[in-house]
Structure 1
Amino acid sequence: MPKLGTALVAGGSLGAGGTLAYNNTIPKNIQEALEREGVPFIKSISDVDAKNRAYKAVYLDNKSSIETDISEAKTSADVAYSKISEWCNGQLNSAYSRSVLKANQEKIIKYCSDQVPRTVEGRLQRIKDQKWIKDEADKKDEAYKAIFAIYRYDKTFLAQINSVKGSESANDVNTDAEKGYETLKTWCETNFVSEVKLVEDENLYSYVFWWCKKLDYETTVEEKIQHDYPGWEKESETSGTNSGDPWDSIKGLWQHTYDVFSVVNPSYTSKNNGTDIGATQYLNWCRGILAKKIFDKGVYQKEYLVAKSVCLKREIQYKLGEKKSLKEGIEAYKANGK
C-alpha cells in the first residue's frame, strides 16, 4: 500500500507538472510564438514616434506590393502606417494556431518585425520623419534646381550625381540648373530605392538627406541671403537716390570696385570705373536681383555674392570697412542699437 500510494502521489504530481509544462510550451498568440524564435516586433517599440516611423519604413520598402496583403495600406506612408499597425496588431494578437502561423508567418515577419529597412528611403525614415522633394505637392522641379544651383560647386556632389547611368554628359560648376537638375532628380529617385545591403559608402545617407529634400527657405536671392546671414536687411527702395541719400551713398561705396559695378551694369565690363552708373541703377538692380530665383542663369554665385553686400542697408555697409566679414558687420550694427 505505501508503495502504491507513493506511486499514485508521484503519478499525480507528474501529471500536474506535465500539464503545467504543456501550458508553458504552447504560445498564447502568434506574437509569442514568433518571439520565441527570436523575431522582434515593431509593436514592442516603446517610443511612439519611433514605432510610427518604423511602420512608415515598412510601407516605403513594400509600397509596390503591400496593398495586395493589406488593402487599406495605400496612398502614402503618412496614411498607410496606421493601417499596417492595425493589421499587425490583429495578426500578432491572434490565438496561436500552427496552421494559421504557417499560412501567415512570411507576411507577418515582412510587415511587422523590427528589422533593418531594405531600402535607403526606408532606413532614412527610421531615423527621422522627412518630406522629400518627390513627395511635394508642387514646384518639385524648382526645388531640385535650387539644390543643384547651390551644390554644383561641391566636387563630391558632382561626382555623385554624375555617376547616374545614362547621363548624357558630366555636370560641372558651369552647368545651368535648368539642365543639371534632371540628373540630380534621377540620382535621388535611384538612390531612394537602392537596397541598404548594396550601399558601400555610409555617407550616401547624408547625401540623400541634404540633396533630395526641399531647402528650408524659399528660393529667391533675398531669401537665400537672409537664410545665410541672419539679421541681414536690405536698403529700402524708397530711401532716395539724390545726393546724400542712401542709394547715392551705396553707389559711392562701390563705383570703383570692378567686380561690383560690372555686374550692376554689364556694359561697363571694359571700363576702369563705374562712376557714371547712377544711384537709380543700383536701386533697380537690387530690386531685380533680390526677386530672382537662385537657380536662374548666372545668378548663383556671381550675382548673389554682389547682392548680399551692395543691396544691404547703408548703415550696415558702413560697418563692412571695419569688420572682416558680413556677419561681423551685421552683428556690430545690431550691437550698436542700429
Structure 2
Amino acid sequence: MAWQTTLEEAELCFPQLLNTSCKKRIRPQAEAMLIYIVLSSISLLTAALNLLVIISISHFRQLHTPTNLLLLSLAVSDFLVGLLVMPFQILFTEPCWLLGDLVCVLYYFIPAITLCASVVNMVLISVDRYVAICDPLHYPTKITAKRVQICVFLCWGLSVFYSIGFLYDNVKQPGKYNSCYGECVINIIGAADLVLNFVIPITAIVILYTRVFAVAVSQARAMRSHIISVTMKHSSTVTVKKSEMKAARTLGVVVAVFLVCYCPYYCVSLSGYELVIGSLTEILVGLMIFFNSCLNPVIYALFYPWFRKSVKLIVTLEILQPHSCEANIL
C-alpha cells in the first residue's frame, strides 16, 4: 500500500497536493531531446539572423528607406521571438509548469505583443507595396520615412495595448483556466482574437497583394510591348518600375511564408480541436509560427543583394571602420 502511494506521488507535479496536483506528462526521452535540440537551434538561429537584419538597416545609411523601416520593425519582433519567446517555449515541453500562475500569464505578454506586431507589420508592408506598384507617382509623397516611423510606433503601441486587453482577465485571476496545479493554461483563443488578429489582417493582406500582382503583371506586359523605342528618361522609369516590382515579389514571398506559417494555428483552433499547452500538436503549430521568424532573414539573403553585402561587412567587422555607414551596398 505504501509502495502504491509512493508511485502515485512520483507521477504528480506536486506530490504534497494529492487531490489537486496535475499528473506529469511523460514523453519518450528521444522525443523530448529532439524537441529541445530543434527549439534551441531555431531560437539561436532566429535571434542571430534577425540581429544581422537589425544592424544592417540601422547602420547603413543607404538602407534608411520607408520599406526597410518596416522590415526593421518586423526584424525586431522576430528577434524577440528568438531571444525571449522560444527559450521559454522549451519550458512548456517539461512534464509540469513549476513557475506559478502569475509567471505563466506574464510570459504570454511577449508572444502576444510580437504576434500582433508581426501581423500589423505584414499589413503595413502590403500597403507599402500596394502604393508603390499601384500609385508609383505619388509614392514618394504618400509613403515618407516620417509617416512610416509614426505607423511603426502605432503598430507597437497597438500591440502592447491589445495584449494587455487580451490577457487582462488572466492577469486579474491567474490560474483561472487551470484544471489542476502544475498547468499553465491561458484563454488565448476567442472570437474577438480570431477576427482582430487573423480574419481582418489576413483578408486585407490577400486583397492588397492580389491587386499588387494584377497591376505588376499588366505593367510587365506593357513594358515588354514598348521596349523597342526607349528614351533615356523612359529607360530610367522602367528601371524604377522593375526595382519596385522585384521588391514586391520578394516581399510577396515574405507574406506568403507568413500566411503558410500562421494559418495552421488558427485553422486548428477553428476546427474546434482543443490545444493543450505542451501537447505535441500545440508544439508543432507553435513551432511553425516561430519558424516564420527564422525564415524571413533567409528570404532576404536569397533575394536581396544588399543584405548579403551588409552581412559580409558585419561579419568581417568592417562596420567598425570610420564612415562605414556611408558604404555603397546597393
Q: Do these two structures clear the TM 0.5 threshold for a shared fold by scoring above it?
A: no
TM-score normalized by the length of structure 2: 0.30
Compare CA radii of gyration and give the structure with the larger one: 1
| The structure with more helix, counted as a fraction of residues | 2
